[in-house]
Amino acid sequence: MQRPLRFGVMGCAQIATGTMMPAIAESKLAVLEAVASRGMSKSSRIAQEFGIEKAYGSYEELLRDPEVDAVYIPLPNHLHREWVIRAAEAGKHVLCEKPIGLSAGEAAEMAAACRKAGVHLAEAFMYRHHPRYPLLKAILQSGEIGGLRAIRGSFTYNNASDSSNVRFKSKWGGGSLYDIGCYPLSAARLLFGTEPEAATVHALFSTEHDNVDMMASGLVEFPGGHSLIFECGMWAYERQLLEIIGTEGRIEIPMPFNARTDDAEFFIYAGGGVRRVDAPGANPFTCQVDNFASAVFGQAPPLFEPEDAVLNMKLLEACLASAAGRRRVTLLN
């Protein structure tokens, strides 16, 4: 019987303690082996909370632990490149929070380092592991809504008053495009099954928030006249929706990026009526951990190779360049 994949968690951010650590604990293929912070007080408290035997006061100590097979990295965006590469050099498989870095160049460096070290690298876009996405793709391939034409995506929330939030630090990779715009962008690439050709984005850069983009709206052009129209924001009323538009119908997906068990349904409007589809429920964070472990053990191929993260960063870079320069930016794939 295969022993579980032993995870070390590098940092005690809310995404780690609130979602990913419970997901690893829930997985039948992985186990929480150790947790590290920049000081023992926090890591010891978190270790006790989750029943983890090992707590470290530095990330370096975690990487030196021979009983840690893989690390989960929830650190601020500007630290991803350094610690992914250092983890790879220490022989650890790496599950890194999205966005994987600050640029496509950084993402390519990380992918190369992990391939050289012979370790698996994955970007933590948990929503893509929810069982309703394979179901959505099957429905699109069936032709029920005709030929695919466009996708609309929205992901907004308002935490503008949280002045200490790392998302409001420009040099740390803050801003709404990096934080949540990456979701509709990656979803469009997934559902269209092609790479974009150009992007035009307009954004609100806030001087109150270190000049990060607090709201962005854009058009992403895909081959064949297909398009994504999206909006993302950290200073707007909370909203989350994905709409897929075809020649004969459309699919409306509430909570496309955070659905779990009781909110996994979506709706197909076609043929003059509406059909509710109750997709199988699941914790997408646990599904992500299971796929990661299966890939490490060679039991199943990864759903997404590291090169997918590089391509998503290319699109994010284009969107940021477009917003900063108030211009259309073309992508060469």
Q: Give the span between the Cα atoms of 240 and 256, in whole angstroms.
A: 7
**Nearest CA-CA partner of 326 in 200, 159, 180:** 200
Helices (H), 103-230: 104-117, 132-142, 176, 182-192
Active-site residue, 98 included: yes
Reference 286, options 130, 89, 148, 104; nearest CA is 130
Burial class (CB in 10 A: 0-12, 13-18, 19+), 12: buried
Helix %, strand %, coil % of the chain (to 5): 40, 30, 30
Q: H/E element holding 122?
A: strand 121-124
Q: Do residues 270 and 96 touch, judged by C-beta distance below 8 A? A: no
Burial 223-252 (b: 16+ CB within 10 A, else e): eeebbbbbbbbbbbeeebbbbbbbeebbbb
For residues 274-303, one letter each, b for 16 or more C-beta atoms within 10 angstroms of the residue's C-beta and e for the rest, the string is eeeeebebbbbbbbbbbbbbbbbeeeeeeb
- The edge-to-edge listing of strands for the beta sheet with 235-246 is 273-278, 265-270, 249-254, 235-246, 148-158, 227-233, 212-221, 198-206, 328-330
Q: Which two tokens stand for residue 253?
A: 């997906």
- Among candidate residues 42, 98, 137, 314, the one labeled active-site is 98
**Catalytic residue positions?**
98
